[in-house]
Amino acid sequence: MFYVQLLKTEKPYFQEVVNGKKNFEIRRNDRDYITGDYIQLLEVEPVDEHLHRYTGRFVCAVIGFVTNYQQQAGFVVFSLLDISEVKYFDNPTNNRLMH
């Protein structure tokens, strides 16, 4: 079974995905990522040292190859396939704060 994973992504890294320069993610493997899972990268920007705010922009992609080779314990790297164009939340809660 494939899942849809929602992942917060800080603004500079998100923009590199949008620009086509970054087609991978390194993440703590707390969700058991597998090839074929769908992800939404949600752009966030810092408000202060502990809080981030959604910008409202996101992209969708499919997880390709997944490996923990040469990663810190508990982390994986996976490729991003079929990255969508930037989309925008049409929701007034898109600026909510989160840790």
pTM of the predicted structure, to 2 decimals: 0.85
Q: How many CB atoms lie within 10 A of CB 71?
A: 14
pLDDT tens readout for residues 44-84: 999 998 899 999 999 999 999 999 999 999 999 999 999 99
Inter-CA distances, 42 with 13, 69, 70, 73, 99, Å: 11, 26, 26, 25, 14
Name residue 61's beta-bridge partners.
39
